Chain A
Amino acid sequence: MSVTTGPAAMSLGDGHAAALRRDRTIERWLMLSLAAPALLLVFVCLIVPVGWLFYLSFFTDGGVATLDNYRHLVEQPSYARIFWTTFKVSALTTAICAVLGYPLAYFMSQLPARAANLCMILVLLPFWTSLLVRTYAWLVLLQRTGLINTWGMQLGLWSEPLPLVNNMTGTLIGMVHIMLPFIVLPLYGSMRTIDRTLVQAAANLGASPVQSFVRVFLPLSLPGLTAGALVVFILCLGFYITPEVLGGGRVTMVSSRIATDIDTFLNWGSASALGAVLLLLTLILLWVASRLAKGLSLVGAGH
Chain B
Amino acid sequence: MSWLDKAATETQITHRSRLWLYVLVVVLFAFLVLPTLLVIPMSFSESQYLEFPPRHLSLRWYEAYFNSRSWMHATATSFKAATLTVIVATPLGTIAAYGLYNAELATARLVSLLLITPIVIPIILVGTAIFYAYVRLKLVNSLIGVVLAHSILAIPIVIMIVTSALKSFDMNQERVARSLGASRVTAFFTVVMPQIKFAVLTAAVLSFLTSFDEVIVSLFVSGGDNSTLTRIMFTALRDQIDPTIAAISTIMIVVTSLLLALAQMFGRQAKR
Interface residues of A (CB under 8 A from B): 28, 31-35, 37-39, 41-50, 52-53, 100, 103-104, 106-107, 110, 119, 121-126, 128-141, 143, 145, 147, 150, 177, 180-181, 196, 199-200, 202-203, 207-209, 212-213, 234-235, 237-241, 244-245, 254-255, 258-259, 262, 268, 271-272, 275, 278-279, 282, 286, 298-303
Mark each residue of chain B from 87 to 114: 1 if its CB lies under 8 Å from any CB of chain A, else 0. Answer: 0000011011111111111011101111
Chain A binding site: helix, strand, loop or mixed by DSSP?
Answer: helix
In the complex, what's the smallest C-beta–C-beta distance from B203 to chain A, in angstroms? 13
Given A39-B111, A103-B25, A255-B122, the answer on whether A302 and B32 have CB atoms closer than 8 Å is no
B12 touches A209 (CB 8 A): yes
In the complex, what's the smallest C-beta–C-beta distance from B79 to chain A, in angstroms? 14
A43 vs B129: C-alpha distance when bound (angstroms) = 11
Measured between beta carbons, the chain A residues less than 8 angstroms from B241 are: 139-140, 143
A140 vs B250: C-alpha distance when bound (angstroms) = 14
B167 touches A38 (CB 8 A): no
In the complex, what's the smallest C-beta–C-beta distance from B36 to chain A, in angstroms? 5
A218 vs B99: C-alpha distance when bound (angstroms) = 39
In the complex, what's the smallest C-beta–C-beta distance from A220 to chain B, in angstroms? 14
In the complex, what's the smallest C-beta–C-beta distance from B207 to chain A, in angstroms? 12
Measured between beta carbons, the chain A residues less than 8 angstroms from B186 are: none
In the complex, what's the smallest C-beta–C-beta distance from B194 to chain A, in angstroms? 19
Interface residues of B (CB under 8 A from A): 8-13, 21-22, 24-25, 28-29, 31-33, 35-36, 38-39, 42, 49-52, 92-93, 95-105, 107-109, 111-118, 120-126, 128-134, 148-149, 151-152, 155-156, 159-160, 163-164, 166-167, 206, 209, 212-213, 215-216, 219-220, 230, 233-234, 237-238, 241, 245-246, 249, 252-253, 256-257, 260, 264
A122 vs B257: C-alpha distance when bound (angstroms) = 11
Q: A34-B95, A104-B24, A136-B39 are in contact. List 10 more A-B contacts (CB 8 A).
A: A41-B92, A49-B132, A136-B233, A136-B246, A139-B241, A196-B10, A241-B215, A245-B234, A275-B128, A301-B105
Given A132-B215, A150-B51, A301-B105, the answer on whether A140 and B42 have CB atoms closer than 8 Å is yes
Closest B residue to A119 using CB positions: B29
Please pick, from A134, A213, A238, the residue contacting B123 in the complex, using a CB distance under 8 A: A238
Closest A residue to B102 using CB positions: A31
23 sample A-B contacts, Cβ–Cβ < 8 Å, listed by A number: A31-B103, A34-B96, A35-B96, A42-B117, A46-B121, A46-B130, A49-B130, A53-B128, A103-B21, A123-B32, A130-B215, A132-B233, A132-B249, A147-B38, A202-B11, A240-B123, A245-B237, A275-B125, A278-B122, A279-B122, A282-B120, A300-B164, A301-B108
